[in-house]
A and B are shown apart, each in its own frame.
Chain A
């Protein structure tokens, strides 16, 4: 092929341009730390990366949901614990009131104290945590428990037994509440009866209330046990999600991020190639026949 000066210079120019483009591409990749900057860099891996990003965001959300569940179950656990203490105290008072040697005045004192405990139990049943009545089912804006009659003869429950739950991805939603009426109702009923029996000075009835109190206490403990188990499950799930997050992050980094060592090696070699090309360009067409003619 016949080579002209223009052909040579054009070739040198085109090659320099191509070299510089590759160099700038590598520099851009390195400075951004990302292998994929636009979908066209790798369409298939772009989709994979987008999927990882979505899953990471979703998992972060599950973690938040589990946090909310843990806090709410914690509040439930505390309330049930206090209710248990309260029933314990009522149990002691009932045992005392069941003894025939206790006089009418003392029975009235005991009745007054059980009345206080009853009010305390209603307050616990109406526990409001972060704007939610936690024992009201899904009617979380209405205080669920109230006493009727003076002195109280019954309690009313205006909540429901519906479940509140958070989404934790796979499987059924994770329940964050307990059936309020089932958890607190028996305690309230037995406390009302005990207070009235004490006020009436009926030792026999008070004696029979002792076993009812025990049943109510058992119910409370049982519900509390369930809450505790769920809290453990939350912890296990959180650690599971944490592990899967770490793994996903690693996968995402492998897909999206640049292999720095590899890129640096490529950059160095590209720099060498570019410098060589520059050196050649400096020499190209330096001499011509004209130099030798006189």
Chain B
């Protein structure tokens, strides 16, 4: 066996140590890169060449031929990725829900002295106040004014709920655009990864980028993925694949006539199939837009409508200072449109406080209107107007509290999984430093082998056969 084989063997050692050092260097450089997975070199011993009658020729056993840095691998656990993405969908959804509830709570602005609870009480109180001087036009004007304050507060809340819904709708379109951007990038990366790996190239960093994008996507919509043998990733929503190899099925939004013209999320192909979104930011936005806010709107509308119906009925039965009767107190038919009748705003003397004509000091009808405050008019005759409103506020509070708790829980779960993932995939500088020493020593030793073989060759070539 030739001495030069020893040189070749040492050379594989040098190369392997150099490759390993390069990988360590890459790891250290990316210690703080988002989504980076630490890489390791797989070493393989090159076995001795066997056969051709060479083995044990001349009775000498044949050693192996050195080392091969066969592969550079990412250390990543696919199951943790799956768990992370699942938790991320949940966590992002609850986080968005908390945002929506926070905005709702600001809209209702309770408990304060200016909120609707105080305004409704004030409205009825003003009818009690005027009862001690029903003939005073000034006192009547203050009743009408208090009522107008209350209706404008109802209008403000209703309008802000409409605005909130519009804002959520705009965010839906925005999130759909983000999803499309990500899925296009994933499809591009799919192509690059397949091409690179077909040529036995190292696609680790491309895979890291793809995984990071999928992580981000999981925050927007719940998803699951499969990877084929060639390394191409398929991403499924709850309905169907949105990325398959290089192909992307984009999502788009179309105005939904059945839902007040708000945006409906559909697959942007011939099917125009609606997308099922049970989580992620998109899911939260849709749930807040189509359930949470409308629920509050309906409750507020019910309150306004009952107020209009009951107060109007009672008011119509009474008589004003000028004996006018049969007049409505409120106009409008919803929380957004409720207002005090213009006639009464202009002429408070028409306010029907008396139960009889020609009795300016009679305030029996004012008492009848005051009586509405304690009557169970709402929820099928089980709650007063104020009870109903307070229940509405409580429901809002409970919803917000629940979303906050769930959001916190999911964040903890997510953090736990991320730590586990980082534990496996993250770069430890101590570890890399140790590896650096290891590979440096290996390099030095291989270099030493070259020197030794060189010396042996020198002996063989220059000294052999020379006497003295």
Contacts and interface: CB of A to CB of B under 8 A. Distances in A.
Whether chain B is bound by chain A comes out as yes
A289 B118 CA distance: 65
B397 A43 contact: yes
Contacts of B419: 1, 7, 10-11
B433 A289 contact: yes
A162 B426 contact: no
Interface string A29-63: 00000001011111110110111011001100110
Contact of A46 (B111, B132, B358, B426): B111
Interface in A278-293: 288-290, 293
A165 B364 CA distance: 9
B133 A132 contact: yes
Contacts of B356: 138, 162
Interface in B295-309: none
Contact of B401 (A43, A131, A140): A43
B359 A162 contact: yes
Which of A36, A40, A141, A173 gathers most chain B CB within 10 Å?
A40
Contact of A166 (B32, B132, B418, B434): B132
Contacts of B393: 39, 46-47, 50
A5 interface: yes
A130 B133 contact: yes
Contact of B122 (A57, A64, A167): A57
Interface string B80-121: 000000000000000000000110010010110100011001
A39 B361 contact: no
Given A6-B32, A162-B362, A289 B397 contact: no
A133 B105 CA distance: 50
A81 B415 CA distance: 84
Contacts of A197: none
Given A65-B131, A132-B135, A39 B391 contact: no
B6 to A, nearest CB: 32
Which of B102, B360, B418 gathers most chain A CB within 10 Å?
B360
Nearest to A34: B111
Nearest to A9: B32
Given A47-B390, A141-B135, A14 B430 contact: no
A72 interface: yes
B154 interface: no
Interface in A193-219: none
Which of A11, A141, A177, A293 gathers most chain B CB within 10 Å?
A141
A127 to B, nearest CB: 14
B49 interface: no
B359 A160 contact: yes
A132 B121 contact: no
A140 B367 CA distance: 18
Nearest to A166: B132
B105 A39 contact: yes
Contacts of A126: none
B92 to A, nearest CB: 17
Contacts of A64: 129
Contacts of B110: 39, 46, 50
A136 interface: yes
Contacts of B415: 14
A59 to B, nearest CB: 10
A72 B134 CA distance: 14
A131 B136 contact: yes
A139 interface: yes
Contact of A53 (B111, B136, B363, B430): B111
A138 B360 CA distance: 6
A61 B123 CA distance: 11
A7 B386 contact: no
Nearest to B425: A4
B400 A1 contact: no
B45 interface: no
B429 A65 contact: no
B398 interface: yes
Nearest to B115: A50
A289 B101 contact: no
B121 A5 contact: no
A5 B358 contact: no
18 contacts: A4-B426, A6-B422, A10-B422, A39-B397, A40-B401, A42-B397, A43-B397, A46-B111, A47-B393, A54-B386, A57-B122, A131-B135, A132-B133, A136-B361, A138-B354, A162-B356, A165-B367, A288-B430
Interface of B: 31-32, 101-102, 105, 108, 110-111, 113, 117-118, 121-122, 125, 128-129, 131-136, 321, 354, 356, 358-363, 367, 370, 386, 390-391, 393-401, 404, 415, 418-420, 422-424, 426-431, 433-434, 437
Given A51-B390, A61-B129, 20 more contacts: A1-B420, A2-B424, A4-B423, A5-B427, A6-B31, A7-B419, A14-B415, A39-B110, A43-B396, A44-B394, A50-B393, A61-B125, A130-B133, A138-B362, A140-B134, A162-B359, A164-B361, A167-B128, A167-B370, A256-B111
The 4 nearest A-B residue pairs measured at CB: A39-B397, A140-B361, A43-B397, A40-B400
